[in-house]
Amino acid sequence: MITIAAVIAALLAFIVFLQPKWKALKETRSDFARTENKLKESPWPRDSERLQTILNNYQKTLSSGKQSGLKSFSEETLKKATSLFNDKINDEYGSAALFINKASQIEYKDQYDRMNSTFQNQRIYLDQFIFGMDESTVEPEKFKMLLKVWTAEKLVNLALEHKLRIAQDRSLRTGPHNQYFAAKISVLPERAYILDEGDKAPFLLEFPVRITVRCSMKNFLSFVAALQTEPVFLPMVQMEMLTDTSPANRISDEEGNLSMSDLEITIVCSSFYHPSAEQSKSAPKRSLPTLPPGA
């Protein structure tokens, strides 16, 4: 009886205690083998001291060296790329956190109406089917609506400063009595980027605006240079150029540069915004595209 009881106790101990540990040991050995194979295939040394030396060197490169290190350079670049509307936000809202939390539909409507009125005085007439927004547009996050309006307004004003004419869509009329041709200005959907797939809130927001202009090559080149001149940062991400000039005619100057005087150019330029820490904490869960390498 004692022997039978001992055998039963041993079986129970094996089932309850030893079997789970044996299973865990097998899984650990399997994981170790996979890691070992990956290390064999990788170019990295398997010596911990050498790895630590390499790690220290990389950390030193990130925190020091040319331009105060890659980390500082990256932070300064991000700050410059997302600071276009900082002064406006601080003047009108006090801080980025208040801007994100307090921006309202009423403020958006007011900003849109002001922009639309200014454009009309310059004979630029927006149409919601092209522009993609109007004073009645409603989105959950109001601060994004304001950033879209500010981006479009800044881009158009910059084009006018450099003597570019906003093209019109001759197939679409707008206005109270459809008496005007609609301007070719479009607000495109914003793009949200994250660093890691598990991030709940975007690391960076991009607000692209598309416009079509008519101008000379000289004025266009001057405009392009101004897109990334302090404090403006509206990089051009797309371009399409058309001309009525016959290939038989001379279209370049003595130095070989294009010198056409009647161009129709469609471009997409973007502003960027880095959400505040407060926004990141309260952002809803959603699927976002991962920031591409080198972006």
Averaged pLDDT, groups of 10, the chain, 295 residues long: 80 75 85 83 80 82 64 79 90 89 93 95 94 90 94 96 95 91 96 83 92 93 93 94 65 60 91 70 44 45
Question: Given this model, what pLDDT does residue 119 score?
Answer: 96
Q: How far apart, in whole angstroms, are the C-alpha atoms of residue 69 and residue 59?
A: 9
Question: Given this model, what pLDDT does residue 72 score?
Answer: 76
Q: How far is residue 197 CA from its own chain's centroid?
A: 16
CA–CA–CA angle 105, 110, 209 (5° rounding): 85
Question: Given this model, what pLDDT does residue 293 score?
Answer: 45
The partner residues of 243 in beta bridges, in order of sequence, read 263
Question: Given this model, what pLDDT does residue 280 score?
Answer: 44
- By the 8 A CB rule, do 165 and 212 touch? no
Q: How far apart, in whole angstroms, are the C-alpha atoms of residue 204 and residue 190?
A: 10
Tokens coding 74 = 């990256």
Helix 142-161, helix 217-226: angle, nearest 10: 140
Q: How far apart, in whole angstroms, are the C-alpha atoms of residue 163 and residue 209?
A: 19
Question: Given this model, what pLDDT does residue 289 score?
Answer: 47
Give all domains of the chain, ordered by start, each with its CATH number.
79-282 (3.30.70.60)
Is the C-alpha dihedral spanning 59, 65, 71, 74 positive or negative? negative
Question: Given this model, what pLDDT does residue 197 score?
Answer: 77
Q: Cβ atoms within 10 A of the Cβ of 92, count?
A: 15
- By the 8 A CB rule, do 115 and 137 touch? no
Q: How far apart, in whole angstroms, are the C-alpha atoms of residue 81 and residue 253?
A: 35
As a whole number of angstroms, the longest Cα–Cα distance in the chain is 112
Question: Given this model, what pLDDT does residue 213 score?
Answer: 96
Q: Which of 121, 148, 123, 154 has the alpha carbon at shortest distance from 135?
A: 148
Q: How far is residue 163 CA from its own chain's centroid?
A: 28
